[in-house]
Amino acid sequence: MSDDKQREIDELEARLAQLKAAQRADPETPGKAIQKSDNRLLYGVAAVVGVICVVGIALSARSPNALKAAPAVTAESAPSSPPLTPEQWAEIDKRRQEAEAARLAAVTPWTYRDDVDPMTDKLTRWACTTSTNRAILDRPYKPVSADLCLRQSPRYGLHAIVQLNGSGQILCRSYDGCTLKIRFGDGAQQSFSGGSAADGSSNVVFISNATRFIAAAKSAPTTKIQLTFYQAGDQVLEFNTEKLEWPRPAK
C-alpha cells in the first residue's frame, strides 16, 4: 500500500475518533447528526480501501505468475479434426503424382510412355522430347514445334521419328525418301536418310538407322535436325536430348 493511501486512511480514522469523543463529551448532541457523520466517515474509509483492492487485483493480473496460471492448450484439449474422406485422399494422391511428374520434368526433357497392343498384350515403348524452337511456315499453316520420339515396337522394330505438333508439309517423298542433315551437340554435321510415314502423313518423317542416331543423341546435350518444308525452305529444329534413358528400363 502506498504512503499517500495509508495517510488518508489514518486521517479518516482520526476524524472518526474525534467525532465519537465529542459525542461522549456532549450527551445532548442529537444522535442522528453523529450517526450521519459516522456513516460518511465509514463510507469514505470503505471507498479508499475498495480502490486499493481494485488496484492490487489489476497489478496481480499483469504479473508473470498470473500468466503462468492460465491453462495451456494441449493435444488432448485441442479439438480433433475429422478423418479424411476417400475423395480427399484421392485428391491428395493426385496432387502428389502431379508434383512428382513436375519434378521429373524439371530433371529431364524426355517423357516416357508405354502402349499396349490389344491383340498381343505386348508393349510399344516411347521416349519423346519437344523442340525448343518452332518452324515458321507459310499460310495456311502456323508456326509449329515438333516432337522427336524414339519407338521400340514388337511389330515394327526400332524407329526415330520427328512429328510436327500441328499441320505442315515436310518434303520427304515416299518413293525416293530424303536426306536429313543432323548435328549432335558441337560435333560435325552428319547425313541421315529419311522416309515418310506409311499412312502418307506429311507432318511426320522417319530417320533411318535409328540405332546410330540414338547412340549419337544420348551423348549430346542438344540435337539439331534440318528439315525441308513446303514453300518454307530448309529450317532447323533443335531438341534437348540430354539424360536420355534408352533402352527403356524394364518394369
- Is residue 105 domain-resident? yes
Which domain-ending residue is among 54, 69, 84?
A: 69
For residue 128, the Cα-to-chain-centroid distance in whole angstroms is 27
Residue 134 and residue 233 in one domain: yes
Residue 109 and residue 50 in one domain: no
Residue 44 and residue 126 in one domain: no
Q: How much is the pLDDT for 71?
A: 57
For the chain, the domain total comes to: 2
Q: How much is the pLDDT for 248?
A: 80
* SS3 per residue for the chain: CCHHHHHHHHHHHHHHHHHHHHHHHCCCCCHHHHHHHHHHHHHHHHHHHHHHHHHHHHHHHCCHHHHHHCCCCCCCCCCCCCCCCHHHHHHHHHHHHHHHHHHHHHHCCCEEEEEECCCCCCEEEEEEEEECCCECCCCCCCCECEEEEEEEECCCEEEEEEEECCCCCECCECCCEEEEEEEECCCCCEEEEEEECCCCCCCEEEECCHHHHHHHHHCCCEEEEEEEECCCEEEEEEEECCCCCCCCCCC
Q: How much is the pLDDT for 83?
A: 87
- Is residue 81 domain-resident? no
- Is residue 88 domain-resident? no
Residue 33 and residue 122 in one domain: no
Residue 64 and residue 119 in one domain: no
Residue 36 and residue 110 in one domain: no
Residue 46 and residue 165 in one domain: no
Residue 54 and residue 112 in one domain: no
- Is residue 245 domain-resident? no
Which domain-ending residue is among 69, 93, 112?
A: 69
Which domain-ending residue is among 20, 48, 69?
A: 69
User: What is the model's pTM?
Assistant: 0.58
Residue 165 and residue 50 in one domain: no
- Is residue 218 domain-resident? yes
| Full domain range(s) for residue 45 | 3-69
Residue 109 and residue 231 in one domain: yes
CA dihedral for 167, 173, 177, 179, sign (positive or negative): negative
Residue 128 and residue 229 in one domain: yes
Q: How much is the pLDDT for 58?
A: 52
10-residue mean pLDDT profile of the chain (251 residues): values are 68 72 57 49 52 51 49 59 86 85 74 93 96 95 97 95 96 86 98 93 96 97 97 97 88 59
- Is residue 82 domain-resident? no
Residue 120 and residue 20 in one domain: no
- Is residue 87 domain-resident? no
- Is residue 90 domain-resident? no
Q: How much is the pLDDT for 242?
A: 95
